[in-house]
């Protein structure tokens, strides 16, 4: 497998690796996995309660280089976006940006799923809090 330069760059210098406090009401956590390939992605967003804008995003990924790059890129894109804008990020955008080959498309799907799961978790917390 040969990788695009962008995948290699994200792999070598992953942006936003780490964890945000899961219990924080401003934090949404998405934990997703692709069973066909046994990979697991955790993606977290922190939303500024005043502005509704994502002011921090973190990830941890068990998966191939393309999965790591997809989640790293996703966190980069998420910062500064509103939840509505964040939900517009699609896996095809990630595929295009990273020049992923067809066998690695599901790694980008995983990243999209992780974004959705993190935002859903955040929204759930807001409802529960009310």
Active site residues: 37, 107
Under the binding rule (CB under 8 A), the answer on residue 62 touching other proteins is yes
Work out whether 40 is an interface residue with other proteins (CB under 8 A). yes
**Dihedral, 3, 68, 37, 103 alpha carbons, nearest 10:** -30
Binding characters for other proteins, 6-25, by CB under 8 A (x = yes): --x--x--x--x-x------
Residue 105 sits in the site that holds other proteins (CB under 8 A): no
Half-sphere exposure (CA, 13 Å, Cβ side) for 31? 2
- Is residue 116 close enough to count as binding other proteins by CB under 8 A? no
Distance of CA 46 to the CA centre of its chain: 12
Instruction: Check binding of 63 to ligand FES (CB under 6 A).
Output: yes
The Cβ-side half-sphere exposure at 48, using a 13 Å CA radius, reads 12
Taking CB under 8 A as the criterion, the residue among 4, 53, 60, 79 binding other proteins is 60
Yes or no: say if 64 and 74 are a contact pair by the CB < 8 Å rule.
no
Can you name the residues that pair with 60 across neighbouring β-strands?
42
Q: How far is the CB of 32 from ligand FES (least distance, A)?
A: 11
What does the binding site for ligand FES look like in residue numbers (CB under 6 A)?
A: 37, 39, 63-64, 66-67, 104, 107
């Amino acid at each position: 497998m040969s990788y695009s330069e962008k995948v290699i760059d994200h792999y070598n210098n992953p942006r936003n690796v780490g964890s945000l406090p899961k219990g924080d009401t401003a934090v949404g956590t998405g934990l997703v996995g692709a069973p066909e390939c046994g990979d697991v992605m955790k993606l977290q967003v922190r939303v500024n309660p005043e502005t509704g804008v994502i002011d921090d995003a973190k990830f941890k990924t068990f998966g191939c280089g393309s999965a790591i790059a997809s989640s790293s890129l996703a966190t980069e894109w998420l910062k500064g976006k509103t939840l509505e804008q964040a939900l517009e990020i699609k896996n095809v955008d990630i595929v295009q940006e990273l020049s992923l080959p067809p066998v690695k498309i599901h790694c980008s799907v995983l990243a999209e799923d992780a974004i959705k799961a993190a935002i859903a978790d955040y929204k759930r917390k807001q409802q529960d809090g009310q």
